[in-house]
Amino acid sequence: MTAALCPGSFDPPTNGHIDVIERTSRHFQRILVAVIANPSKDSLFSLEDRKQMLSQALSHLDNIEIDSFDGLLVDFARRKDVSVVVKGLRAVSDFEYELQMAEMNAALAPGLDTMFVTAKPAWAFLSSSLVKEVARFGGAVDGLVPPGVAVALKERFAG
């Protein structure tokens, strides 16, 4: 297997996301980082902003491709000829949700496998939602997100 798909909303990308993608990139020749365009979610950052932040944060890796999709993950994986999805897990609650998604994806697309990468302890508490909340109230997010994301959050919540 030479390619893996790392999907997510990445609103915004955190150091936990970056860590999972970096670690995945050591095991696959090509990593497709796919930003989910979910119109039912009220995202803080636009789809293009999230793709740009990921491109900047992952620019040191030469086997990364940033893309986006809407609709079913299995359809996107088929279009991109990818048979492995890699998801990061922080806690048992992540596992329960991600296991359901993996089983549904496998039912819809036999041969599409999901692999889980556990979060490093330093990032196990970290979520995009928490980062947004801290930034919204003026807290420091440096060290929790890539530098460009920290700047974007400060700009978004300034004033």
Which pTM was predicted? 0.94
Of the residues 41, 59, 79, 136, which is catalytic? 41
Q: How far is CA 151 from the centre of its chain?
A: 19
CA distances from 53 to 11, 44, 57, 59, 82 (A): 10, 13, 6, 10, 23
pLDDT, tens only, 24-79: 999 999 999 999 997 777 899 999 999 999 999 999 999 999 999 999 999 999 99
In this prediction, residue 53 carries a pLDDT of 98
Helix axis angle, 128-136 relative to 147-157, nearest 10°? 50
**CATH node for 3-124:** 3.40.50.620
| Known catalytic membership, residue 90 | yes
Q: Are strands 113-118 and 30-36 parallel, antiparallel or unpaired?
A: unpaired
H-run or E-run covering 20: helix 15-25
In this prediction, residue 42 carries a pLDDT of 86
Sheet of 30-36: strands edge to edge? Answer: 64-69, 30-36, 3-8, 84-89, 113-118
Place of tokens 């929790």: 144
Per-domain residue ranges for the chain? 3-124
Torsion, CA 50, CA 39, CA 118, CA 123, rounded to 10: 50
Contact 31, 4 (CB under 8 A): yes
Contact 98, 116 (CB under 8 A): yes
Of the residues 50, 51, 128, 132, which is catalytic? 128
Of the residues 17, 50, 51, 132, which is catalytic? 17
| Known catalytic membership, residue 120 | no
pLDDT, tens only, 65-100: 999 999 999 999 999 999 999 999 998 888 999 999
| Known catalytic membership, residue 128 | yes
| Known catalytic membership, residue 55 | no
Contact 85, 105 (CB under 8 A): yes
